[in-house]
Amino acid sequence: MNLSFVKKKNAFLFLFVTLAITACTKIITTDIGGSLIPPVDGITTFERTMDIVSKNATDTFTRVSKLADNILGFTDDPLFGKTTAIINVQLKPAIFPFYFPVSKDSLFLDSVVLVLGYKGVWGDTTKDMSLRVYNISNDDPLGNLKADSSYLTTYEVPQGEQVTENNTPKTVKFSKLNDFDSTGAFKEPTAGQIRIRLSSDYGNSLLKDYDTLTAYKNDTLFNALIKGLQIVPEKTSNALMKIGLTSYYNAADTNTKIAIYYHYKDRVTADKFDTSIAYFRCNTFTSGTANTIRRDRSGSKYADFIAAGTGNLNDSLIYIDANPGIYTRITIPGLDTISNKIIHHAELIMEQAPDLLSGNDQYLTPPALFLTPYSTDSMRRFALPNDVLFSSTGAMTNQSDYGCYPVSKTDPVTGKTTYTYSFDMSRYLQGIITRKEKTYGLVLFAPFNDFIYASETSGLLGSIAPAAGSPLNSAATGRIRLGGGSSISHKMKFHIIYSEIPK
């Protein structure tokens, strides 16, 4: 659906603007560029800024399905606090009933390895990450993950016994994760794999404790006896990894699995042994998963700021991190009092208030943001009228032009890289001025896999992701502190370039 602001009833205004633009021959040099109307033919271009009101809000939550990259790791950020991301996943045979080639007495374990499909990392890669693996507990019904459910990131899956080999955490060195090695794992390429050796007791239980009369008979019995694995980070790293669990969006991506390496007695030749491997994977349709993401804000600058300014009507600092995370509410007073004007450009400008006390800004980089109206009448978020565009399939098409992505700049004093955002609200403002359309309060947040309504009254939901399987941000990855409406040095503001309509 196309939410263009130009309609037939405004044809006269559109024709006037078009003639004014095409009649110009001069260019005024401004910060905005050469898209402004020069002061000729009775048209003078003006510039003004309007104050805004910004207020930090609370944490929101999200759901991370098995089809999306799941998040794994730990960060300790002075600004936003601590984040712990845990993956819970069921890994199963491809088909049921599942058979090993010979009877249990002829099977011998070599090793068992949990393989995770590494898709990237956000944070400080100079620090190693340590991981432990546990069984999901059989004693708590909360461990019964359902394949047709997508769980909130606050969902806590009960932990069972540890199955990491020798109860020793696996150390992940980020510099080695993309190395290509075709010599190990039955000559399987290991680039993009995190390989965690599991205990022999766990491997033998998969090899010998179950058969086609029990867990390997069908999916129902498997779920009843084998709940899955929980991968937990130690609190030593400062990064979050993206892990692909299924090959739904990429058929070639089958990295995540349990690999059971074993040998067995040959059925024909005495004293001969054959080697083999069995893979259990995250099945798109039958495996349950839950990505638990804990946010601990205690002791952070955000927590201190909120505690100190609970009575503030207009916050000087705005904290936003990728969902599940903090968002903010913004209002622009006085928009509906602006007299009839031609709006050439209107933008909500915001800039980073950098952390000058630590080096975390260079690692914990900013997310893509999204600005959406929120109506207290309909209790819903929806596309900014006339400025957010959707395709006929319901997917947003102008994330970049709208201003979702951060733009870097170099601070002339400190030499550090900081980021700014500029949301284009030109057509929204023109609609308010010329057609007396409604003004709305705004919500600024860092979405994960979010949808918004096409308008306040529409029943159609549109995706704000740039592509299927590629959300605007991965869950929890990205954070930024911005100057708010009352900031002295990094003030958030509404900037307008306009012309008066000649009388």
Number of domains comprising the chain: 2
Confidence (pLDDT) at 181: 46
Do both 236 and 354 map to the same domain? no
Does any domain span residue 66? no
Does any domain span residue 256? yes
Do both 290 and 304 map to the same domain? no
Is residue 109 a contact partner of residue 204, using CB atoms and an 8 Å limit?
Answer: yes
Confidence (pLDDT) at 414: 75
- Residue 459, classified by CB atoms within 10 Å of its CB into exposed (0-12), middle (13-18) or buried (19+), is exposed
Confidence (pLDDT) at 383: 95
Do both 347 and 393 map to the same domain? yes
Confidence (pLDDT) at 42: 57
State the residue range of the domain holding 212. 81-295
pTM exceeds cut of 0.85: yes
Phi, psi (5° rounding) for residue 372?
Answer: -135, 140
Number of Cβ within a 10 Å radius of residue 175: 9
Q: Which residue among 295, 319, 346 closes a domain? A: 295
Do both 255 and 322 map to the same domain? no
Could you give the 3-state DSSP secondary structure of residue 335? helix
Q: Which residues of the chain have pLDDT under 70?
A: 1-43, 179-191, 250-253, 503
Confidence (pLDDT) at 28: 34
Give 358's Cβ-side CA count (13 Å radius).
12
Confidence (pLDDT) at 32: 38
Confidence (pLDDT) at 179: 61
Do both 389 and 316 map to the same domain? yes
Confidence (pLDDT) at 386: 95
Confidence (pLDDT) at 330: 97
Residues 6+ positions from 416 with CB-CB distance below 8 Å: 354, 361, 362, 410
Is residue 163 a contact partner of residue 260, using CB atoms and an 8 Å limit?
Answer: no
Confidence (pLDDT) at 101: 92
Do both 326 and 464 map to the same domain? yes
Do both 123 and 195 map to the same domain? yes
Do both 191 and 321 map to the same domain? no
Q: What's the distance, CA 254 to chain centroid?
A: 22
Measured CA to CA, the distance from residue 130 to residue 237 in angstroms comes to 7
Confidence (pLDDT) at 43: 67
Q: Report the candidate in 364, 498, 328 with the shortest Cα–Cα distance to residue 430.
A: 498
Does any domain span residue 391? yes
Confidence (pLDDT) at 14: 35
The percent of residues in the chain predicted with pLDDT above 70, rounded, is: 88
Do both 392 and 372 map to the same domain? yes
Confidence (pLDDT) at 226: 96
Confidence (pLDDT) at 291: 98
Measured CA to CA, the distance from residue 69 to residue 322 in angstroms comes to 14
